[in-house]
């Protein structure tokens, strides 16, 4: 059975990028969000370390340089500048939404540091920052009178007329086909981790938007820019790899070889640390290296890393007493659908935001905790661009609630 739905904006993906886009669209626009799985299974939920912010004007130069250096200077400088300068506004907005970032005793934001950062500038909530942000945004989107969400609904293609995107097609869990007609369409389907044997991503992330874009001749960029995270918890069990946040190393955790000796500077960029681990594993013919929290105060472990502490206990490791085995795993995709600074693709009325897009912020290697920030900044810019372009356009006739209800 095929059903036609008519909306102003169709968004594929319910991670932070899709949600933040919806929240910044005018309330008179009718919005439909779809997600491939349930709302709980989006990679934004899995972000542990935090979200970066420019602490003050004096921090701009070092933040810019840290991002560029981590990206091997292949970043688009304009995009990096946009992200950094918009960062404080994003954090303030998240606070107004009710995100509970960790605070110091005087009530100010507490900052942590991760690899390749020259100073602490990362806001966080324990070690589940992504979950805290995503669930907060979900609550706000669900309250929107102009938005609806369809779970377990997979984008299968886009609708195209005379080279212009006019919506998307999708398949529901029961096999039904939807033709979602929209004046503007936003792809926010996440990364490609589900294509890898060992990944920190949910297996449902299989690059759907990339496949669709390629089929329509939409420009893609840097498809080989795939980030491997240095530290996932080693296990023989199948399934998604459990990430051990880089902020653990930022707080003092160190990497050890099988002789319990340090062998790399833990605070170098991720790709450099990953290469060091892989060399060590090859030299020792081992399947993992060790990560020791011995230098991290137990109070910090229990307050900053409660989820990591709990998960490691479930796997038989007490990080307050012993090191844990870690191994690199696929983590993030820096390439994707090419977009400009307003998140527009090379097809008119089609936008891409979040990990499925490539606006050039990350270059060849993403700086830690820039992913949530980049997603939010450029999602808002997509929404603003859509609204600005539509001021003088007439929206579709309203049969939205009947179609989606």
Q: What tens digit of pLDDT does each residue of 238-276 get?
A: 889 999 998 999 999 999 999 999 999 999 999 999 999
Rounded to whole angstroms, the Cα distance separating 194 from 330 reads: 10
Q: Are 8 and 186 in contact (CB under 8 A)?
A: no
The pLDDT of residue 398 is: 44
**156 shares its domain with 188:** yes
Percent of the chain residues past pLDDT 70, beyond the cut: 97
Q: What is the pTM of this model?
A: 0.91
The model's pLDDT over 307-322, given as tens digits with 9 standing for 90+, comes to 999 999 999 999 999 9
Total length of the chain: 405
The model's pLDDT over 52-101, given as tens digits with 9 standing for 90+, comes to 999 999 999 999 999 999 999 999 999 999 999 999 999 999 999 999 99
CA angle, residues 186, 190, 191, in degrees to nearest 5:
135
Within 13 A of 220's CA, how many CA atoms are on the CB side? 20
What phi and psi values does residue 262 have, to the nearest 5 degrees? -70, 145
- Kindly indicate the confidence band of residue 299, based on its pLDDT and cuts at 50, 70 and 90: very high
**277 shares its domain with 369:** no
The model's pLDDT over 186-197, given as tens digits with 9 standing for 90+, comes to 999 999 999 998
**233 shares its domain with 367:** no
What is the CATH number for 190? 3.50.50.60
The model's pLDDT over 121-165, given as tens digits with 9 standing for 90+, comes to 999 999 999 999 999 999 999 999 999 999 999 999 999 999 999
What phi and psi values does residue 127 have, to the nearest 5 degrees? -120, 30
Of 396, 5, 76, 397, nearest in space to 222 by CA: 76
What is the CATH number for 244? 3.90.700.10
**216 shares its domain with 265:** no
Of 5, 13, 8, nearest in space to 353 by CA: 13
**120 shares its domain with 263:** no
Strand 220-221 and strand 336-338: pairing? antiparallel
What phi and psi values does residue 259 have, to the nearest 5 degrees? -90, 5
**62 shares its domain with 166:** yes
The model's pLDDT over 18-64, given as tens digits with 9 standing for 90+, comes to 999 999 999 999 999 999 999 999 899 998 889 999 999 999 999 99
Strand 357-358 and strand 336-338: pairing? parallel
Domain boundary among 330, 349, 382: 330
CB under 8 Å to 261, separation ≥6 — which residues?
Answer: none
Output the CA–CA distances (angstroms, integers) from residue 401 to 153, 168, 342, in the order listed.
Answer: 17, 18, 29
Question: How many folded domains does the chain comprise?
Answer: 2
Rounded to whole angstroms, the Cα distance separating 375 from 82 reads: 12
Domain boundary among 330, 362, 394: 330
User: Is it the case that residue 395 has pLDDT exceeding 60?
Assistant: no
User: Is it the case that residue 282 has pLDDT exceeding 70?
Assistant: yes
Rounded to whole angstroms, the Cα distance separating 192 from 333 reads: 7
Residue 270 annotated in active site: yes
The whole domain housing 41 covers: 2-225+334-404
Q: Hey, how many other C-beta atoms are within 10 angstroms of the C-beta on 183?
A: 23
Q: Hey, how many other C-beta atoms are within 10 angstroms of the C-beta on 203?
A: 14
Catalytic residue among 55, 240, 249, 270: 270
**18 shares its domain with 100:** yes
């Amino acid at each position: 059975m095929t059903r036609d739905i008519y909306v102003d904006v169709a968004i594929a993906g319910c991670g932070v990028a899709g949600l933040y886009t919806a929240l910044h669209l005018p309330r008179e626009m009718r919005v439909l969000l779809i997600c491939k799985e349930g709302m709980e299974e989006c990679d934004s939920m899995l972000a542990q370390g935090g979200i970066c912010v420019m602490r003050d004007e004096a921090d701009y130069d070092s933040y810019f340089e840290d991002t560029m250096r981590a990206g091997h200077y292949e970043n688009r400088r304009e995009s990096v500048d946009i992200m950094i300068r918009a960062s404080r506004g994003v954090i303030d907005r998240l606070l107004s939404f009710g995100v509970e970032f960790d605070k110091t005793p005087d009530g100010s934001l507490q900052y942590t540091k991760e690899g390749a950062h020259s100073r602490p500038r990362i806001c966080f909530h324990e070690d589940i920052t992504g979950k805290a942000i995503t669930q907060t945004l979900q609550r706000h989107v669900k309250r929107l009178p102009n938005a609806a969400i369809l779970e377990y609904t997979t984008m299968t293609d886009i609708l195209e007329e005379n080279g212009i995107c006019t919506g998307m097609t999708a398949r529901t869990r029961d096999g039904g086909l939807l033709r979602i007609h929209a004046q503007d369409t936003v792809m926010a389907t996440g990364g490609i981790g589900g294509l890898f044997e060992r990944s920190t991503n949910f297996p449902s992330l299989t690059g759907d938007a990339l496949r669709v874009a390629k089929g329509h001749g939409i420009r893609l960029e840097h498809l080989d820019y795939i980030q491997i995270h240095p530290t996932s918890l080693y296990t023989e069990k199948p399934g998604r790899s459990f990430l051990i946040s880089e902020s653990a190393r930022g707080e003092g955790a160190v990497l050890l070889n099988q002789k319990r000796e340090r062998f790399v500077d833990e605070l170098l960029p991720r790709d450099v640390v990953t290469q060091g681990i892989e060399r060590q594993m090859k030299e020792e013919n081992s399947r993992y290296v060790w990560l020791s929290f011995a230098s991290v105060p137990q109070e910090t472990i229990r307050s900053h890393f409660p989820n990591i502490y709990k998960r490691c206990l479930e796997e038989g490791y007490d990080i307050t007493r012993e090191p844990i085995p870690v191994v690199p795993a696929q983590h993030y995709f820096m390439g994707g659908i090419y977009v400009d600074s307003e998140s527009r693709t090379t097809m008119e009325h089609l936008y891409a935001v979040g990990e499925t897009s490539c606006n050039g912020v990350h270059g060849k290697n993403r700086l830690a905790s820039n992913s949530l920030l980049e997603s939010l900044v450029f999602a808002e810019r997509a929404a603003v661009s859509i609204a600005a372009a539509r001021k003088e356009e007439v929206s579709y006739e309203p049969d939205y609630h009947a179609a989606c209800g």
